[in-house]
Amino acid sequence: MEDIRISEIETQCILTKSNLPASDYCANPYVGCTHACKYCYASFMRRFTGHREDWGRFLDVKFWSPLENVEKYRGRTVFLSSVTDPYNPQEAVFKRTRTLLEELSGSGIRLSISTKSDLIVRDLDLIRNFPQAQVAWSVNTLDESFRADMDSAVPVERRLGAMKIFHDSGVRTTCFISPIFPGITDVKAIIRTVKDQCNLIWLENLNLRGAFKSVILSYIREKRPELTPLYERIYNRKDMSWWEELDRELAAYTSSLGLEYRINDNSFTRPFSAPPVVVNFFYHERIRKNASSKASVIQDNAQDIVPAEIQSE
Ligand code: SF4
């Protein structure tokens, strides 16, 4: 992408305390995200940055003083990243995520990374040495044309290839099927595709709110008009029955595959070689009460994240 405004900024504190469940600290080596997903839950960050460019068209690259006494974080979980992708394409040049991993190496932190990229394979040598490291890839379609309509990240095949490399190397992997687009995302096909190369499969519904609601509904009207009544029912009339039906279908389907299906997640105690657990995060009110996952609640905690990050910099 040619027309991305890239700036370099200094930050006092690259690790910020996290309000997200199951993560003690977050690190966002960049401000902005050039994957530019149309449904990005983090795009609210733009208004805190002073940027006039659209979300996905700017990237602030963070520089910080080298971390010291990293042993004090031993046993804590650090999540990369809550409001950017730590492996956006510019990371290949700036290496800020790799720098952070190098600084944290040997600290004993528990590392959790979420990405839509295969650039992370470059850092496998570092990541595999963190205790209980886990990496999640977002995959919400196997249809490359729909993928390209929704984001500028790498093709799904490359994400799946990276997931397999990590899993084959003994790093715990998660396939984050999110957001599920009603009538478009073939959840069963994705589960079939990834079940032998991941330890967890998370399911999250498309939750339309804020500025991107109209973007997505316009896309559906233009590209998938036959789905307009369904989206109208779900997103304007708040009818949850479609999700309830999908929930029942997936419970039966995963059972037929011999996979455990549950709402809450404590599967980290399972052996690495066990089949993946499929975790349903469709219902956000339940997530707030029960979930031990962080990524699924990013959007609900968004307003909490921003003040913490802004205050620390
Ligand atoms: S990869 Fe994540 S942070 Fe980046 S644009 Fe997409 S949804 Fe937003």
Cβ-proximal residues to 157 (8 Å cutoff; 6+ apart), any chain: 144
**Residue pLDDT, tens place only, 59-110:** 999 999 999 999 999 999 999 999 999 999 999 999 999 999 999 999 999 9
Q: What is the pLDDT of residues 27-64, one digit of tens each?
A: 999 999 999 999 998 888 888 888 989 999 999 999 99
Whole-prediction pTM: 0.90
Q: Which residues of 251-266 are buried (b: 16+ CB within 10 A; e: fewer)?
A: eebbeeeebebeeebe
With a CB cutoff of 8 Å and minimum separation 6, the contacts of 41 are 298, 299, 302
Q: What is the pLDDT of residues 220-245, one digit of tens each?
A: 999 999 999 999 999 999 999 999 99
- Predicted confidence (pLDDT) per residue in 247-262, tens digit: 999 999 999 999 999 9
First-to-final CA distance of the chain? 28
Question: Ligand 1: distance of its center to the CA of 164 in Å?
Answer: 22
pLDDT over threshold 80, residue 170: yes
- Predicted confidence band at 310 (pLDDT cuts at 50, 70, 90)? very low
Residues 176-230: tens digit of each pLDDT: 999 999 999 999 999 999 999 999 999 999 999 877 899 999 999 999 999 999 9
Longest dimension (CA), the chain: 57
How far apart (Å, rounded) are the C-alpha atoms in residues 32 and 7?
11
pLDDT value at 270 more than 90 = no
Ligand 1 midpoint to CA 296 (Å): 13
Q: Are 39 and 213 in contact, with CB atoms under 8 Å apart?
A: no
Per-residue pLDDT, 198: 97
The CATH number assigned to the domain holding 153 equals 3.20.20
Centre of ligand 1 to C-alpha 85, Å, is: 6
Coil, helix or strand for 262?
A: strand
Q: Ligand 1, from 31, 35, 152, 208: best to mutate by most atoms within 8 Å of Cβ?
A: 35
Give the number of the atom of ligand 1 that is nearest the alpha carbon of residue 83: 3
**Domain hosting residue 293, numbered range:** 5-312
Atom of ligand 1 minimally distant from the CA of 39: 7
Q: Which two tokens stand for residue 236?
A: 């304007």
- Centre of ligand 1 to C-alpha 256, Å, is 33
Mean pLDDT, the chain, rounded, equals 89
Overall number of domains in the chain: 1
